Amino acid sequence: HHIACDGWSKGLLIDELCTAYDAITAGVEPTLPELAIEYADFAVWQRRWLSGDELDRLSAYWRERLAGHAPALEIRTDHPRPRTSSFQGAVQWIAVPGSLARGAITIGRQQGATPFMTLMAAFKALLHALSGQEDLLVGSPAAMRNRPELERVIGFFANTLVYRTDLSGQPSFRDLVGRVRDTALGVYAHQELPFEKIVEAVRPPRDPGRNPLVQVNVRVEGREPELKLRGIRATPIVIDPGIARFDLAIELGVTDDGFAGYLEYDSALFDSCTAAAFARGFSSVLGAVVQWPDQPLATLEPIREIAARRTHLGG
């Protein structure tokens, strides 16, 4: 649970569990490395560090970056938005085959962008088609383990960062990847400010039925940590917890053949058939932008079809 740990911590826990199990089954005492600090030490340090000039510097960046912040993302929903969020949700599974993943990674590399930046750009192209909005705010978690002494500590260090992208001017996918890359580099240089402090600095209009600043989240992970226990074959079971922290969230991880993951959606807003259409739309958009990375996004057939349905429905 995020009250105690984050995704990085899961890998640490599995690694230490495997080390301890293998030692015990071999009849020896488990030995784990001593920690340089504990989470409480980090919490005290962070509170002291995020004050005075440093707090002012980071807050000023986010106020400027999100000045006149984009309006809330408006995607046509199947049901009226509740006054307060229920956080009820479900998932639609997504698989990106290896050939398509490699094509996307190659385009990103040519633009000096990581796979995360490239997949973020593809998802923003989909959101642009679904909403018709050109100024998009999307959230994404950052591990925040940027100091060696934090690498082995189990705790909640992750922070939600806000990526603002301008899609005006009929950009191509290659253009959009460059815009996302430039945004990301600025965000990384100012990532230490906790999300709640970003909200305090920007002061967006508050709505109990929406997350502040971002209603959509993107997460791209490496390979899942493996549970390797002596004499035991362990297979992960992927479950749908039935919750949604955002209106929409996409999570993709590296597999032996591309990327795989899911689209999480708020089931109070969207029916399963609509969420399935969103998931198919992402795959179609990704395939089109990889095949024609230099054409204006608006001219690509999947984006035109999604935008046409939105216009026809009056969204």
Q: Helices 272-291 and 301-313, interaxial angle, to 10°?
A: 140
Distance separating the N- and C-terminal Cα atoms of the chain: 37
pTM listed for this prediction: 0.92
C-alpha angle 244-135-182 in degrees, rounded to nearest 5: 95
Say if CB 181 and CB 107 are below 8 A apart.
no
The 8-class DSSP code of residue 263 comes to E
Q: What does the alpha-carbon distance between residue 34 and residue 24 come to, in Å, rounded to a whole number?
A: 19
Q: What does the alpha-carbon distance between residue 116 and residue 179 come to, in Å, rounded to a whole number?
A: 13
From first to last of the 315 residues of the chain, give the pLDDT tens digit: 888 899 899 999 999 999 999 999 999 999 998 999 999 999 999 889 888 899 999 999 999 999 987 778 999 999 999 999 889 999 999 999 999 999 999 999 999 999 999 999 999 999 999 999 999 999 999 999 988 999 999 999 999 999 999 999 999 999 999 999 999 999 999 999 999 999 999 999 888 889 999 999 999 988 888 899 988 998 888 788 899 999 999 999 988 889 999 999 999 999 999 999 999 999 999 999 999 999 999 999 999 999 998 865 554
Say if CB 117 and CB 181 are below 8 A apart.
yes
pLDDT of residue 312: 59
Q: What does the alpha-carbon distance between residue 206 and residue 15 come to, in Å, rounded to a whole number?
A: 41
Say if CB 281 and CB 248 are below 8 A apart.
no
pLDDT of residue 71: 79
Phi and psi dihedrals of 137, rounded to 5?
-110, 125
63 exposed, middle or buried (CB, 10 Å; 0-12, 13-18, 19+)? middle
- Count Cβ neighbours within 10 Å for each residue of 239-260 and write b for 16 or more, e otherwise: eeeeebebbbbbbbebbeebbb
Say if CB 237 and CB 26 are below 8 A apart.
no
pLDDT of residue 315: 46
> CA separation (Å) from 152 to 146, 147, 265?
12, 10, 32
